[in-house]
Amino acid sequence: MIVTENVNLIKSIPSQYFLEVERIVFEAIANGNKIDELKSELLKRYAITNRRAKLIAKDQIKKATEMLERRQLIDAGVTKGFWLHSGNYKPGRARKSHVEAAQRAKRGEWYDLRKGMLIDGRFTHPKELVNCNCTRKIYAELRQLSRFAVDKNIRMAA
Ligand SMILES: [Zn+2]
């Protein structure tokens, strides 16, 4: 699942290496090494530029972290998400549809964490697209929250 969601984002690395990249990404997360170490690892192994390696490392760590967290939430029975736009972007660079998704969320529209939010005609998760810094709030009950490590975006049911 991780691979299929990420495949299109790593165009500069031949597809036969995707599984290997996935393994390196999760090792980096598990070891707490994260971006810099992943970048060096990618540079060592593949014929890509420094800039490209950094972009891929940042992007993959963000995506994989979001996916792991989402899976923990779903495992705990949490399925309602509210799209949040990062808010920090250069003027004119924000994805209009992602800003709109956050406005839809403010009006009470939620999406199913198992599917993603319908944006531009396709079900999307925060950070799935390159350079997307969007995130989400969740709506959960107390008993569900006790089942996983609480993150800072949690909103408790009354
Ligand atoms: Zn976004």
Whether 82 and 151 share a structural domain: yes
Structural domains counted in the chain: 2
Domain extent for 32: 2-72
Q: Quote the pLDDT of residue 2.
A: 47
Q: Which of 72, 87, 115 is the last residue of a domain?
A: 72
Which residue's structure tokens are 């993603």?
Answer: 116
Whether 52 and 93 share a structural domain: no
Q: Quote the pLDDT of residue 10.
A: 63
Whether 52 and 119 share a structural domain: no
Whether 11 and 33 share a structural domain: yes
How many A from CA of 83 to the centre of ligand 1?
Answer: 9
Q: Quote the pLDDT of residue 76.
A: 86
Query: Does the pLDDT of residue 4 top 50, yes or no?
Result: no
With a pLDDT cut of 70, the percent of the chain lying above it is: 78
Whether 88 and 19 share a structural domain: no
How many A from CA of 135 to the centre of ligand 1?
Answer: 8
Whether 103 and 144 share a structural domain: yes
Q: pTM of this prediction?
A: 0.73
**What contacts 146, CB < 8 A, 6 or more positions away?**
none
Whether 54 and 118 share a structural domain: no
Q: Could you give the CA distance from residue 12 to residue 77 in angstroms, rounded to a whole number?
A: 37
86 with 153: CB under 8 angstroms? no
Which residue's structure tokens are 């509210």?
Answer: 82
If you write DSSP's letter for every residue of 29-72 in order, what string do you get? HHTT--HHHHHHHHHHHSS--HHHHHHHHHHHHHHHHHHHHHHH
Specify the DSSP class assigned to residue 33.
-
User: What is the per-residue pLDDT across 52-106, written as a single tens digit (0 to 9) for each?
Assistant: 888 888 888 888 888 888 988 898 889 999 999 987 666 667 889 999 999 999 9
**Apex CA 89: angle with CA 87 and CA 91, to 5°?**
110
Whether 67 and 85 share a structural domain: no
How many A from CA of 146 to the centre of ligand 1?
Answer: 29
Whether 83 and 147 share a structural domain: yes
User: What is the per-residue pLDDT across 11-25, written as a single tens digit (0 to 9) for each?
Assistant: 667 777 777 888 888
Q: Which of 52, 72, 92 is the last residue of a domain?
A: 72
How many A from CA of 128 to the centre of ligand 1?
Answer: 8
How many A from CA of 102 to the centre of ligand 1?
Answer: 9
Give SS3 for 84: strand
Whether 43 and 106 share a structural domain: no
Specify the DSSP class assigned to residue 135.
E
User: What is the per-residue pLDDT across 109-156, written as a single tens digit (0 to 9) for each?
Assistant: 999 999 999 999 999 999 888 778 899 998 877 777 766 655 445 554
Residue of 29 and 99 predicted with greater confidence: 99
67 with 27: CB under 8 angstroms? no
How many A from CA of 134 to the centre of ligand 1?
Answer: 4
